[in-house]
Amino acid sequence: MVQKINRLVESLLQGFKTWPGLETVQNIPYQSYSDALFEFTSLKIDVILDGEIPPQKQRLKVLPPHEFLETSLSATKDRFFLESVPVHVEYKKTHEIETLIAGVRDEPYTLTQGSTYGLYRVFWGVPVVSRTGWIDRQKHILETLPENFWRWHGANLNARLEHQLADMGTALFHRDHLQFPLSLAQLLETVTEHLLTFNKQFLCPPEQRLRALEALPNLPSGFMGLLNSLIRSDGALDHERKLTVARRLVEHLLSL
C-alpha cells in the first residue's frame, strides 16, 4: 500500500509542479486504526502557494485521471478518488499560514477557529516538494512555541469545557435528546484538545485522536476509564449518568 501511495503522490506532483507559485506540497500522515484488519489509508495533501490559488478548471487540468470529484464552496479543497484511494487536497497560501503561526508565536495570542489542528498539518506534514526552505522555517517556529502560549490555550479550553458541560446539563433538564449528544460530542473534542495541549501537542485528525490520547505521557489518573464510559454506545449509561461522568472528567482536567 505504501508503494501505491507514493506512486499516486508522484502522479499528483507532476501537475502541481507546473504552477509557478508553488512553494510546498506536504503529505499529511493519516492512519485511522491500529488493527491491520480494519486499517484504512487516505491520501491527504496540502498544496501551499506563494500567490493566488488556481481556479477549479485550472486545478482539474493538472490532476491525473480521477473519479467522484467534490470541490468545496470555498474553492480551497478538492476531493476525489485515484485508483480507489480517497484523496483530499487542500490549497493554502503562504501568507495565511504565516499569519496563523504569528498568532501563536507572539502575544497577544490568537488562534484561527480556536483549534491547533491547522498547526498540526503544518508541523507534521511531510514535505514532498519544498522550493525555498520556507516550510522548514515554519516548522522550526512551531517546534519552539513559548510556554505562555500553551497556558493561554489551556485556559481558553477550560472555559470551553465549563460551557459545554453546562449545555449538557441544560439538555438533560429539558429532556432534549438531540442537544445532549451534540453537546457531549463537542465536549469530547475539547477534552481531547485539552489533554493534547497539556502535553504540548497539536490537535490531530479526528480518526487519530483516540490513539493519540492513549499514547500521551501525561494523563489524569482514571482518565481512560471515564472516557470509555462516555463513548460507549451500548446504552448502559443513561444521560443522567453520562453527565455525572462528564463532570468528573472535567473536574480532573480543570485541576491540571
Going by C-alpha positions, the residue among 245, 123, 116 that lies closest to residue 190 is: 116
| Backbone phi and psi for residue 189, each to the nearest 5 degrees, phi listed first | -65, -40
C-alpha cell at 157: 479550553
Going by C-alpha positions, the residue among 80, 88, 73, 114 that lies closest to residue 26 is: 88
Rounded to two decimals, the pTM is 0.91
pLDDT in tens, the chain (256 residues): 778 888 999 999 999 999 999 999 999 986 554 444 445 567 999 999 999 999 988 998 999 999 999 987 776 999 999 999 999 999 999 999 999 999 999 999 999 889 999 999 999 999 999 999 999 999 999 999 999 999 999 999 999 999 999 999 999 999 999 999 999 999 999 999 999 999 999 999 998 899 999 999 999 999 999 999 999 888 889 999 999 999 999 999 999 9
| Beta strand pairing call for 43-49 and 85-93 | parallel
Going along the chain from its start, the domains and CATH numbers come out as: 2-143 (3.30.460.10), 147-254 (1.20.120.330)
Q: Can you tell me whether residue 205 is helix, strand or coil?
A: coil
Sign of CA dihedral 53, 57, 62, 64: positive
